[in-house]
A and B are shown apart, each in its own frame.
Chain A
Amino acid sequence: MKIAVCMKQVPDSETKIVIKEGGKWIDDTGVNYIINPYDEFAIEEALRIQEKAGGEVIAVSLGPDRSINAIRTALAMGVHSGIHIKTSTMYIGLSAAKLLAEALKPLNADLILFGKQAIDDDNMQIGPMVAELLNLPAVTVVSKLTITHTGGTAEREIEGGKEIIEFSLPAVVTAQKGLNEPRYPSLKGMMMAKSKPITSLTPAEIVSGITIIGIEYPPKRQAGKIFTTGADAVPDVVRLLREEAKAV
């Protein structure tokens, strides 16, 4: 089975977000970049499927030079080879999906895995967009997955319950937290990763259809009325919720 896993390098979730002066994104000086956590579930799932079904797992990452580190980590986890789609800037939206689809198409993978969203832009678009561009079925936000050589069953969460989905291969799946427990790269894995092949692609840059015209911090919430009298404060709080906050 040929499995492709797409991964994005994103700032660590602990990063203190500092807006770039006069810019349209964050200031990434000193930011620690990691593999998007949801993509780690995708990588782990790919490896588990490959360990059972045989075949190979290919890591694909779209981004500037530093994105190659995401691929190296995936290789250290056990992925067999990587493709780095090198771009001078960060792409989001349909243009990112187009660049990924172009690189994925010749692979003719049986299964393409993504994390459900990138924790920087929180867009949740790329997996299903790529599926559409490659004319593949997609199952998104998957918390449980079973794959055979011809198809699969997945569970995905919806409001008030879950859907049990059946699908045929080839297909795209996007991973939700809890799909699996991603492994840590072993020391042996890190050594072996050095000799695994990474192909570098430099596609022509395309114009993004999304324009970021501004960036700001969210409004700061202030502390309100804090009572230190324990249960005695309850009647006051309930009254305030009704009369002042009109919340109940």
Chain B
Amino acid sequence: MSSNVAFFIEIRDGLIRNCSYEAVTAARTIAGELGGTPVGIALGNGFSDSLSAFGEYGIPEIITVDRPELTLYAPELYTAAFVHCVKRIAPAVIIMTATAMGKDLAPRAAARLNIELISDSISYKMNNGKIEAIKPIFAGKARITVTSQSSIQFVTMRPKAVSPAKSTAVSCQVLASDFDPASIAVRVRTKEVIKTGSGKADLTEADVIVSGGRGLQEPKNFGILEQLAETINAVVGASRAVVDAGWRPHSDQVGQTGKTVSPNLYIAIGISGAIQHLAGMSSSKCIVAVNKDPEASIFKIADYGIVGDLFAIVPKLNEEFKKLLASS
């Protein structure tokens, strides 16, 4: 019985997305525990030449479907291609990152393989060859440890739950699969992708986030957060209140009904810290809060807090960070 671990390499615009290095790290670790081989599956168009980087992650083999039909994400083609590659690898475990693509592809692939899917896991441990995965429920108010009894254990990891780590370099063989996308009838297709935002990382994948709430008083005041974000290479997020007020788009919302984020640093400006907001950011590594109200709930979970006028504090933060980064 195989102890191989298959992992998904996510490609968009012909480029390998960072989440792939999270998946490969988890896959390699698990394969090590099982005494098996980690094998990548990469789907898309025009990417095959850039896969040798995975050799530095200890990956000896990647199976690809590199075809024009897969230029844009197409659920049916990707599901069929992915399952085809999985069958070729015959793994004991499949690892994928729960990105927008992963969350669409994994359930379909799992159902097609007639196996369960453990989705959005934040950590795991191995117990006698079985993965015990921990996943948040009730917007993170609790966590369950689950196992899958299926013939293949399929787990998707929350973005940024795994830190990418290279390993002893090996030579990575890239094998083109014989899967033919032309054989699949397509009933759903991506007509186009519209890019929004500054081209920065998505909130769910950001290392540093500066988030603003009602304390900013007016939409234009988000400008001071954008300046700070520029200095420290952060992505700007928002509380539900300012999204509902129409100041910021819903895609910027951090919280129970928005995005769940786990950056290294989360700076909350003018945000009171309602439970629903905390649900989205409480797994941030380091939390800084700025609020004029010393009783604001956000201060109960902040690692560092400054009580005071954010309109004086934020520009000062910008100035001090600039000094710090210039001197490093």
Contacts and interface: CB of A to CB of B under 8 A. Distances in A.
A79 interface: no
A129 B142 CA distance: 25
Contacts of B204: 159
Give chain B's interface secondary structure class: mixed
Interface in B247-287: 250-251, 256-257, 264-265, 276, 282-283, 285-287
A211 B147 contact: yes
Contacts of B306: 226-227, 229-231, 233-234, 237
Task: Give the interface size class of chain B.
Answer: 35 or more
Interface string A199-232: 0000000000111111111100111111111110
Interface stretch (A52-60, A162-170, A182-190): A162-170
A218 B145 contact: no
A64 interface: no
A166 B106 CA distance: 21
Contact of A141 (B103, B132, B324): B103
Interface string A100-143: 00000000000000000001111111111101110001111101
A242 B324 contact: yes
B304 to A, nearest CB: 5
Contacts of A228: 294, 307-308
B224 interface: no
Contact of A231 (B120, B144, B232, B308): B308
A125 B119 contact: yes
B141 to A, nearest CB: 4
Interface stretch (A1-9, A11-19, A42-50, A68-76): A11-19
Task: Give the interface size class of chain A.
Answer: 35 or more
A21 B317 CA distance: 46
Interface in B64-114: 72-73, 75-76, 79, 98-101, 103-104, 106-108, 110-112, 114
Interface of B: 17, 72-73, 75-76, 79, 98-101, 103-104, 106-108, 110-112, 114-120, 132, 135-150, 187-197, 199-202, 204-205, 208, 232, 250-251, 256-257, 264-265, 276, 282-283, 285-288, 294, 299-309, 312-313, 316-317, 319-321, 324
Given A128-B111, A226-B307, A247-B264, 12 more contacts: A123-B119, A138-B75, A138-B104, A159-B201, A165-B191, A171-B188, A178-B250, A213-B147, A214-B145, A218-B283, A221-B301, A234-B306
